[in-house]
Amino acid sequence: MGFNARDAVSEFWASHISKLGVALLVGLFAISIYVFASYPLDFGTRYWNSPQHWADYPKAVPPAWTQTFTSQKKPIHTTLVSENPTIRTTGIRSIEFDINFDFRYDDFPQFTSFSISELTHWDDPPIVYVSLVRPDGREVENLLEIAIPFPSADAEPPFTKYVNVPFRTYLPGSPVVHHAVSSFLRKEFDMALTPSEIGRTGPEQFIFGAPDDDGEFTTVLKGSYTLKVRFETFHQDDTVDSIKFVVGGKVFGIMGTDILGRDLAVGLLFGFPVALFIGLLTSTLTTVVGSVLGIMSGYMGGKTDNLIQRVSDVMNNLPQLPILIFLVFLLGQNIWNIILVLVIFGWSGLTILVRSMVLQAKEEQFIEASVAVGANSRWIMARHIFPQVAPFVFTQMIFYTPSAILAEAALSFLGLGDPSLPTWGQILERGFQTGAIFLGYWWWIIPPGLLIVVTALCFVFIAQGLEPVVNPRLRRMR
């Protein structure tokens, strides 16, 4: 089993499959390092699983690039923030924000929302009036009238509110908006629609639309809109830091969003380091345990051999997934438990293979010579036996990586993933459970699966490239 490192590298590099595998691996690592550097470690609990964080995102909309294939342009998600109020001191003191924006799409927004951040008042809280001036010159007056809640009786001024969590109003769900739109329609178009009728159909088509000849609001009024926000204050020192108006798109980002509005691109990116971590850690631990036990079993023989072989025989005779389900279910859905169980039930196959290789290797003369000059067995195992099985063990490690990734994905798909650590499998599971297949949300289902496939394939390719290097008999076959 002569082994020359330089030959091995050139042999490996000769095949296209190895090159492709290595290129993919470099890409996977580059993305993972980027994500690791830019994401907080508690991303799962702090952002991904917090519905509040995704409140202002559109729900279950396809990626924005799908627009290139249609002539009907759907609205792209727009977040408008204003931090520069004008203060009017004539008459009632008021803080005013104006936001101009263009809306030139062929479809209405999915929703609109309005938020206030960092409001400070010294006396009674200000009253907020929001109006929208449309491109046709008509104005939806007092679209929103917000009464800011009073501070508790024992609090002392100044009262500063909404610093971390903005005060948010979701327009389609607000009765005030339904009333305002109803009176707007009566005044401007002489149409009688009750607020609850508007609540049922959603106010967007009336706010952003113009009636056709039949009085149906089906066409979008394209042009520039102005949102006018006025805080009527009761104290001259009251301030508002910023306001935000969100025009919910019907397409979003490069990967779209799920039913909770989560930006799938963000979640999918986070899956890269997690998948590599699970795959590589599990395969490394598994091969270390498997090869150490295999070498011991093969070289030492006797009782050690018997014991290790009995145990690995039992382990090797167990159906992995059911046992995995059983243990993770009982021990708790935690990434360390999953890795631990994968290692415990993964080493046995390798041990059996390594043992049979060691049995051959230990018959070689230079080992007999080592024994004769009095080298101890640990030294022989580490210096003489291990190098002979190392290339094979390394290939097995590469080959085991995708199966660890796939096993975690399978567990996640069955609902046993670690909830604090979003993985591709979990994103798919959420999609499947929400019925994304039957609702046609393909962007929620296809990309995570493809990423699992690409990651797994990367390691399969490298393992395939290594195979003829390790097993020279295969060389003639290619």
Partner 1 sequence: MKLGRSLLMKGLSLLFVVIVTLFLMNLILGATGFSDRMLTALVNDQVRIQRQTLSQTIQDPVELQRIVDQLEETLIQAYGLDKPWPMRLPQMIWRVMSFDLGHAKTAQTFRGSTLIKDLIMERLPKTVLLITTSVAISAILGLTIGTKIATKPGSRLDRFFSNYSAFSYAIPTWWTGIVFILIFAQTLRILPANGMYSTPPPTVPVARFLDLLWHAILPISTLVLALSGSWIYLTRTMVLNTAQQDFVNVARAKGLPENLVMRRYIIRVAAPPILTNVILGLASSLAGAILTETVFGWPGMGLLYWNAIVTVDEGLIIALTFIYTVIYVVARMILEILYVILDPRVRY
Pick 227 or 428: Cβ nearer partner 1: 428
What's the sign of the alpha-carbon dihedral 471, 473, 475, 477?
negative
Pick 144 or 411: Cβ nearer partner 1: 411
Pick 6 or 473: Cβ nearer partner 1: 473
| CB 477 to partner 1: min, Å | 5
H/E segment holding residue 380: helix 377-380
Pick 326 or 379: Cβ nearer partner 1: 326
Q: Which amino acid, residue 476? A: R
Tokens coding 45: 């609990």
Which residues on neighbouring strands pair with residue 251, listed in sequence order?
A: 76
Q: Which residues bind partner 1 (CB under 8 A)?
A: 313-314, 317-323, 325-327, 329-331, 349, 402, 406, 409-410, 413-416, 425, 428, 432, 437-438, 440, 442, 445-446, 449, 452-453, 456-457, 460-461, 464, 473, 476-478
Which residues on neighbouring strands pair with residue 231, listed in sequence order?
A: 95, 128
Cβ(280)–Cβ(460) below 8 Å: no
| CB 24 to partner 1: min, Å | 11
Cβ(382)–Cβ(22) below 8 Å: no
Pick 303 or 478: Cβ nearer partner 1: 478
| CB 349 to partner 1: min, Å | 7
| CB 317 to partner 1: min, Å | 4
Pick 324 or 361: Cβ nearer partner 1: 324
| CB 33 to partner 1: min, Å | 23
| CB 252 to partner 1: min, Å | 21
Give the integer Cα–Cα distance in Å for 137 and 31.
Answer: 49
What's the sign of the alpha-carbon dihedral 370, 371, 374, 376?
positive
The closest alpha carbon to 460, from 405, 409, 423, belongs to 405
Tokens coding 278: 């699970």
Give the integer Cα–Cα distance in Å for 324 and 404.
Answer: 12
Where are the alpha helices (H) located in 301-364, listed in sequence order? 302-316, 320-331, 335-344, 347-361
| CB 364 to partner 1: min, Å | 24
| CB 171 to partner 1: min, Å | 33
Work out the angle at residue 24's Cα, subtended by the Cα atoms of residues 20 and 27, and round it to the nearest 5 degrees.
145
Orientation of helix 302-316 relative to helix 264-300, angle to 10°: 150
Tokens coding 94: 């008021």
Residue position matching structure tokens 């924000």? 97
Give the integer Cα–Cα distance in Å for 366 and 443.
Answer: 60
Cβ(153)–Cβ(228) below 8 Å: no
Pick 203 or 447: Cβ nearer partner 1: 447
State the DSSP code for 96.
E
| CB 287 to partner 1: min, Å | 17
| CB 296 to partner 1: min, Å | 21
Pick 140 or 357: Cβ nearer partner 1: 357
| CB 55 to partner 1: min, Å | 27
Pick 393 or 462: Cβ nearer partner 1: 462
Determine whether 124 is exposed, middle or buried from the number of CB atoms within 10 Å of its CB (0-12, 13-18, 19+): middle
> Measuring CA to CA, how many Å separate 253 from each of 48, 95, 446?
16, 34, 16
Pick 180 or 328: Cβ nearer partner 1: 328
Pick 183 or 316: Cβ nearer partner 1: 316
Tokens coding 384: 């003489």
State the DSSP code for 124.
S
